[in-house]
Amino acid sequence: MVPPDPTTLTAELVIETEGWHPRYARVVLIAADDDVGVVLVDGNGDGSELEMEYWTHDGDAWVGGSSSGYGSLDSVSTVTWDAGPMVCAIGRGSAGEIAQVRYDGEVFDCIVNEFGLWGFERKTEEMFTGELPEVEGMPDDHAQQMRHLDDRRRQLRERVERLVRGEEPRTPEE
């Protein structure tokens, strides 16, 4: 099977298939790789509340998956995270600028769009790899904080997996 073209995950598709009102909603960011993607939608068109959606291509079409509130357009900051079958990064800048993201030994250029956002997304071979993208020029304290949070999430995932497999007893307060 030929892998899907990530460029076919479009703002029009997101608005149409996810039930957003086309008069008000606007897609402010799409980042896709292979058959996974992340999308930020401004549901009211005023930037006050964004919704983050994860998308996958099921072999026939792009399908919206889980979503959650993401705050306002003005409050978006540079973040990186591991979302299971993908790793992601988003940030702010001036339209046309280039943010550089290092992942898996390569450096990728991410162009800041007209909404002042850039995004990076890469499919991973296994779930929750523990390896996060690194944003070039991210302040050291912020980068260190992101690594600490990722380590904590990894530890929690590993503990949950051990609990599910019955390899670790539950504590009384659980």
- Give the three-class secondary structure for 161: helix
The residue ranges of every structural domain in the chain are: 6-136
* 126-130 long-range Cβ contacts below 8 angstroms, 24+ apart: 127/84, 127/85, 128/82, 128/84, 128/154, 128/157, 129/82, 129/87, 130/82, 130/154
pLDDT by position in tens, the chain (length 174): 445 677 899 999 999 998 899 999 999 999 999 999 999 999 999 999 999 999 999 888 999 998 999 999 999 999 999 888 899 999 999 999 999 999 999 999 999 999 999 999 999 988 877 788 999 875 555 555 555 566 666 677 777 778 888 887 766 665
- Contact indicator for 108, 91 with CB cutoff of 8 Å: no
